[in-house]
Amino acid sequence: MPDPAAELLALADRGPFATVLADPPWRFTNRTGKMAPEHRRLTRYGTLDTPAIAALPVEALAAPTAHCYLWVPNALLPEGLAVLAAWGFTYKTNLIWHKIRKDKGSDGRGVGFYFRNVTEMLLFGVRGPHARTLDPGRRQVNLLAAPKQEHSRKPAAFHDLIEACSPGPRLEMFARGVRAGWTCWGDQADAGYRPDWATRTGRSAPPG
């Protein structure tokens, strides 16, 4: 099996990275729910448990002063905060993705055992001195509305926001496809990426 830590460390010559974005394949304790990527009827991709994610050598790749953006499902917020700390970053705030329909209303097809989830959270942490966001970050609100695509893909608007608010060089971990100006790493980080499962519209969607 590939060693993700070794693969990441092989990127060290492209860093150190002043900005890290990660969308880990979180493993849910309850794998029977449709929220879990490894649900037996909906298997989409392999997952990692929290200790494995926390053990990735992000601290060794990040610059002494750096930003980290970490996607975390609402149900796994404590685990997300623990991973951010394990990677050497101090949690500061978060960005919220509001999932909307074409008519701009909340996309209520999300799942959840307690409430119907229509949001997802992007944790923001920093390390080192003078780690403020760039000037556009001082004006950026932390709520972005965008429609869903295939399972787990995040809106490109968040890449735009990060490029405006955080300096390079930038590393995206567990990327889908590639993006100019970023070092992209992960099983699906190639220019020809297409999901190999049926998307919510019944067809594979191009990188966006």
- Give the CATH number for residue 20: 3.40.50.150
pTM: 0.84
Q: Give the number of domains in the chain.
A: 1
DSSP state at residue 205: P
- Residue 197 forms part of a structural domain: no
Q: What CA–CA distance (Å, rounded) separates 194 from 202?
A: 13
Burial of 57 (0-12, 13-18, 19+ CB in 10 A): middle
Higher pLDDT, 112 or 68: 68
199 φψ region: left (φ > 0), alpha (ψ -120 to 50), beta (else): beta
- Residue 80 forms part of a structural domain: yes
Q: Pairing state of beta strands 170-173 and 17-22?
A: parallel
- Residue 208 forms part of a structural domain: no
Range of the domain at 8: 4-27+40-184
Q: What CA–CA distance (Å, rounded) separates 141 from 93?
A: 11
**Residue 72 clears pLDDT 60, i.e. is over it:** yes
* Dihedral sign computed on CA atoms, order 99, 100, 105, 108: negative
- Residue 75 forms part of a structural domain: yes
Question: Do the beta carbons of residue 44 and residue 37 sit within 8 Å?
Answer: yes
- Residue 205 forms part of a structural domain: no
- Residue 99 forms part of a structural domain: yes
- Residue 19 forms part of a structural domain: yes
The reported pLDDT for the residue numbered 108 is 75
**Residue 119 clears pLDDT 60, i.e. is over it:** yes
The reported pLDDT for the residue numbered 46 is 79
- Residue 207 forms part of a structural domain: no
